[in-house]
Structure 1
Amino acid sequence: MRMHWDAFLAAVGERGEYPSKQEAERAARVVLALLGAHLVGEVRAELAARLPETLALVLLNPLQAHEPLPPERFIRATAAWIEGATDKTATWDVSAVLSVVADIAGEELMQRILFQLPPGYDLLFGRPQPG
């Protein structure tokens, strides 16, 4: 079931404690564009089907990654795309967006998403996996 645009941004805004909807939207667009470059096939399509339509398109038409980025480089890339961001604020942005994504993805799809990503992303999604 597709999450509504306002509900998604409200959840990201609340987790990220953003002062405006625009800041929540900016974080969501950047993080999902980078995430989309790391996911392929059915997993990406299933996740897109649960996101608000505008953000689904962002996920399905990603920024190109030449290789899967380890979590720390994913954060650095996020910081590079958000004006005035630092690694610390980008970590906050990534966690706010990806924790909402994890909630709407559900357990089974999350396992398949994490399987496609380099180790360590479970923490970015707020879903630490047992070692």
Structure 2
Amino acid sequence: MVMQWEAFLDQVMERGGYPSRQEAERAARVVLALLGAHVVGTERAELAARLPETCALVLLNPLQAAEPLTPERFVRATAAWIEGATDETAKWDVSAVLSVVADVADEELMHRVLLQLPPGYAALFGRPQAL
């Protein structure tokens, strides 16, 4: 069963400590759009199928990335897209969103997603490094 958008936002809100659903939604949209530029093919489609429709649409219509971003650059890119964000707050945003994404995906799918990303992303998904 696919998680509903409100439930997804509630989890992001809780993990990120956001005072409003609007802030959680802003973080979710930016992080998923950036993630969609880095995860391609079957893995992106499978991940999208497990997410709420709103998340899936963002993931499947990503921001364009010229090159794969290291985890640090992914966080900096997130900060650039969120008004008033710093690298520190963006790391919080990324982890809040990606940990919920990881919970929606099973371990096998997460393993395949992480294989597409540069080293170091597992921690952003709230997972141990060696998957």
Residue of structure 2 in register with 1:113 after alignment: 113
Any runs of at least 4 consecutive aligned residues in structure 1 with deviations exceeding 4 A, and if so which?
A: none
Residue of structure 1 in register with 2:74 after alignment: 74
Query: C-alpha separation between the residues in 1 aligned to 2:129 and 2:68?
Result: 19
Segments of 5+ residues of structure 1 without an aligned counterpart are none
For the pair 1:103 / 2:90, whether they are aligned, the reply is: no
The letter for the 1-side match of 2:2 is R
Query: C-alpha separation between the residues in 2 aligned to 1:2 and 1:36?
Result: 18
Shift, 1:2, TM fit? 1.4
1:1-131 pair list within 5 angstroms = 1-130=1-130
Write out per-residue CA displacement over residues 58-97 of structure 1, whole angstroms, 9 at most, x where no aligned residue. Answer: 0000000011100000000000000000000000000000
Shift, 1:55, TM fit? 1.1
Query: C-alpha separation between the residues in 2 aligned to 1:122 and 1:34?
Result: 16
Shift, 1:130, TM fit? 3.0
Query: C-alpha separation between the residues in 1 aligned to 2:107 and 2:124?
Result: 15
Query: C-alpha separation between the residues in 1 aligned to 2:39 and 2:3?
Result: 19
Shift, 1:121, TM fit? 0.1
Q: Is the 8 A contact 2:68 2:117 kept in 1?
A: yes
Number of equivalences: 131
TM, length-normalised to structure 1: 0.98
The letter for the 2-side match of 1:130 is A
The letter for the 2-side match of 1:22 is Q
Query: C-alpha separation between the residues in 1 aligned to 2:29 and 2:130?
Result: 30
Write out per-residue CA displacement over residues 16-75 of structure 1, whole angstroms, 9 at most, x where no aligned residue. Answer: 000000000000000000000001110000000011101100000000001110000000
Write out per-residue CA displacement over residues 99-130 of structure 1, whole angstroms, 9 at most, x where no aligned residue. Answer: 00000011110000000000000010010223
Query: C-alpha separation between the residues in 2 aligned to 1:129 and 1:86?
Result: 25
